[in-house]
Amino acid sequence: MQTPDLARASSSLQHSPNNPDAWVQMGRALAARGVRDEPAACYRQALFFEAEHADALIALGLTLLRTAEVREAGRCFATVLAKNPDHPEALGGVAMVLERQGDLDGAWQVIQSSRRDVPIIAMAAASVGPRVGKTRAASKRVTRTLAAFPNTLALVFAHADLLHRLRKHSDAFAVYREANRLQGGTFDAQSHLASIDAHIASMGTFHTSIQPGPGAGRPVFIVGMPRSSTSLVEQILSCHPDIHANGEMEALRDIAVSLGGYPLPELSNSTLKDGRNRYLAALGPHGSRATDKMPNNVLHLGLAARLTPEARVIYVVRDARDAAMSCFRQPFGAGLPWANSLAGIAAWSTGVQRLMSHYQDALPLPIHTVHYEDLVSNPLPTIEALLGALALPFDSACLKPHEHRRIVATQSHAAVTEPMHTRSIGNSAPYTKWLAKYM
């Protein structure tokens, strides 16, 4: 069923298929629904009809930033600034590019160069300001911008985060709650847990006829609750010369859907081989190990065991309350409705735990558990054990993931550019009275 914005965008395109504004409208409507790939295609179509369309360039640039295509994003913003050097949205985009590239001082200078209080500039200020000792200045800018652009979802989350940083926790929680309400979406926690139990009951055995070919790459599935530091673990592994990091892949989910979803039917040898070939093609020909960090793969590890019996699983665990509050503080959008309430987050966390408990008993794939608290408190033995689980020699570069030039596409992009630290342990403590009801 189409939302009103999506219906209006579809109607506009039907009447004016060559209108770049209509394509931008469609891209924004799809993005608001949590669609991953199509918005960028819409913005590119707008640029096909008008190569210097400012709104399309800004929207595409911001989309590319989310997928870590930083250089192309920078070119989008630069194209706008070439015609209008004071364009505030383009300046905000440049600031975000500089932040991703590690030039925090340069990013803050760009932010300060614009007097316009628009959401993109304010978002950049909220992200960069605390990292250059300007939390209060960032908070003032965000507050001013919200007065002009109320209910701008990402900005409301940014406002709450700055209140958190300023230790105004009661105010911060109230704003986080309002931000999650604005995200919309519904999630039935009890139905979700019932579906998890049904999924486990339907799995049966994990028998496969697949025999890995000689020299086949070994997938490394990194799973766990979102915000449990799966991004950090992948960044650490990406520092090893024998590992390629793919980030969050949709391939395993897509294969499951193409097979008819769960419970899976009986799969013939040819079907299994076709699924395996499709997955390995998506994984890419990258050395001896390649990671797939899609958290929702926790739902598909039974299928993974049948398609890629040579795979390894890394299960990242973090204190449940810390992970829950970190999810509650993130603008995940409409694509993750469970993250919009503490009840939904608690149910999702319980579902992950139930699945992993089942897999640890029944899955033929080796599963290695990494505890976030051990990783940041005592990284050397934890990383040695992690690499050992993948049958790889230790490499000291893995101790300094923040020095790796790889850019992370997830919302953890800022965290992995800092040296590992323990400051986030116990980060949920100021919110215990609200969390206690659920976990």
Write the single-letter amino acid at 360. Q
Q: H helices within 363-407, ranges in order?
A: 372-377, 379-389
What is the spatial distance between Cα 102 and Cα 420, in angstroms, rounded to a whole number?
16
What is the spatial distance between Cα 432 and Cα 415, in angstroms, rounded to a whole number?
23
Residue indicated by tokens 């994003």: 73
Q: Note the residue count of the chain.
A: 439
Q: Which two tokens stand for residue 351?
A: 């579902």
pLDDT at 216: 56
Using alpha carbons, list the distances in angstroms from residue 232 to 6, 121, 182, 344.
35, 27, 29, 24
pLDDT at 135: 97
Asked whether the beta carbons of 319 and 425 are under 8 A apart, the reply is yes
The predicted model scores a pTM of: 0.84
Using alpha carbons, list the distances in angstroms from residue 144 to 89, 90, 174.
16, 19, 19
Residue 227: its H or E element: none
Q: Residue 371 carries which DSSP code? A: E
pLDDT at 317: 97
- From first to last of the 439 residues of the chain, give the pLDDT tens digit: 345 588 898 898 999 999 999 999 999 988 877 787 899 999 999 999 999 999 999 999 999 998 878 999 999 999 999 999 999 999 999 999 999 888 999 999 999 999 899 999 999 999 999 999 999 999 999 999 999 999 899 999 999 999 999 999 999 999 999 999 998 888 999 999 999 999 999 887 777 888 876 555 689 999 999 999 999 999 999 999 999 999 999 999 999 999 998 888 888 999 999 999 999 999 987 767 899 999 899 999 999 999 999 999 999 999 999 999 999 999 887 678 999 999 999 999 999 999 999 999 999 999 999 999 999 999 999 999 999 999 999 999 999 998 876 555 455 455 556 789 999 999 999 999 999 999 8
Q: Which domains does the chain have, with CATH numbers?
A: 4-183 (1.25.40.10), 189-435 (3.40.50.300)
Residue 232: its H or E element: helix 230-238
pLDDT at 409: 46
What is the spatial distance between Cα 175 and Cα 80, in angstroms, rounded to a whole number?
34
